[in-house]
Structure 1
């Protein structure tokens, strides 16, 4: 893992995530700001996400997808917030509006990914469980807002299904299961969508736009 951290697609750059504003404007349908005033974006940068076979690490693809969603929300007048999870302390960005708010989210994504890379280089390869890490959402995810979690969902920890069910009752929940190609094994969870890390952002944008608006069914969509 450590040798591949320096190849293209293994790290995040502020300029690249900022440039996705244009992609979100052109390739993403309008956000439903009337019913959904904002979105909390959750990025999983735990060690298992720092891997990829072709275009990019799954962590990078997760950040790109969340940046696209965040830009679209801000362009339509909504607020954005961030919870970035890793092997260390989470990075939290409080809700804010507009380009400035999205810039804060991007800075948070890049900072969190840099921290994750540093921990991997130091030999931290074990994923902490996901379920307790999601407790931080209680302080930043206002009821009724959208909540988008981009993760590989490895090492879920005890009680993840119950936690997801509770979040889905309070929020417009979407789970982006970031894969490295192929079809994931999807648990019976509402609002779960597979996202192939090999898709470049301009190809992922229309898919993400549809996924956020479809009425979810059980399992994969």
Structure 2
């Protein structure tokens, strides 16, 4: 049960607000599932299949493991091979409800805005006929809802996010690593699927990078970053910081999202910045 002082919009996450994000999302698209199994959508994006798509000049951000030795030797410039693959249109949402996400200086906690962003993506995925799964990670542990499709399934996801957020608000203890959730995600998300991880700029620690890179090898992984007002416009005055008998003054700097994007690009992960709740 959430404490009364936390039962307020922007602090407590409700099922109703996540379901209300459906409005305008479930419009019939031109894609239809190729079978009755949710998530089966034939496609020919660049991937890691067996059919050669093209050999082209290497550009920044390409996977160096796909360099073609013959074309590179022949031209004297690095070239890579890209392949087609049959994409399984499954979207896995990962919600970070650990203590660093449970705060905010704006209209809503980071964790609430992260859940809203994930729900929007979930509704859009259902609108095109994809299947959706979700993993939640908090100080209370890791929970999940396996993939499915349809409005009722999105209702189960909304309930899981709301109840998981309630437990996170009441949970005590150390902030766990993301690694366990990322390892589970690799089992839950099929090759060719999409993974959306909503967390903070400091949410991926150094020990989380290897499982995140493994997850991104055969999947499209994106980090959703809900920026807090203090991230973009911190106070200009120096702030006092005290730890026991030690104290000093420090100035906060705006978050460098470009540096974070470069770090994630090395792991084959893209970055989506969420500046406000309209994003």
TM-score (norm 1): 0.78
1:105 aligns with 2:157: yes
1:184 aligns with 2:185: no
Equivalent residues in 2 for 1:1-221 (5 A)? 5-25=6-26, 34-35=42-43, 37-119=89-171, 124=172, 126-154=174-202, 156-181=204-229, 182=232, 184-185=255-256, 186-187=259-260, 188-190=263-265, 191-196=270-275, 199-200=276-277, 203-204=278-279
Query: Which structure has the larger Rg?
Result: 2
RMSD: 2.5
Q: Check conservation: 1:128, 1:155, Cα contact below 8 A.
A: no
Report how far residue 87 of structure 1 moved. Answer: 0.5
Quickly say closer, same or farther: Cα 1:106–1:30, change in 2 above 3 A.
Answer: farther
Q: Check conservation: 1:150, 1:175, Cα contact below 8 A.
A: yes
Quickly say closer, same or farther: Cα 1:111–1:3, change in 2 above 3 A.
Answer: closer
Greater helix share, 1 or 2? 1
Quickly say closer, same or farther: Cα 1:125–1:154, change in 2 above 3 A.
Answer: farther
Report how far residue 174 of structure 1 moved. Answer: 0.7
User: Which structure 1 segments of 5+ residues have no match?
Assistant: 205-221
Q: Check conservation: 1:184, 1:194, Cα contact below 8 A.
A: no
User: Which structure 2 segments of 5+ residues have no match?
Assistant: 33-40, 44-87, 233-253
Report how far residue 153 of structure 1 moved. Answer: 4.6
RCO greater where, 1 or 2, for CA within 8 Å and sep 6 or more? 1
Greater strand share, 1 or 2? 2
Count of paired positions:
193
Q: Partners in 2 of 1:75 and 1:10 — Cα distance? A: 28
Report how far residue 4 of structure 1 moved. Answer: 6.2
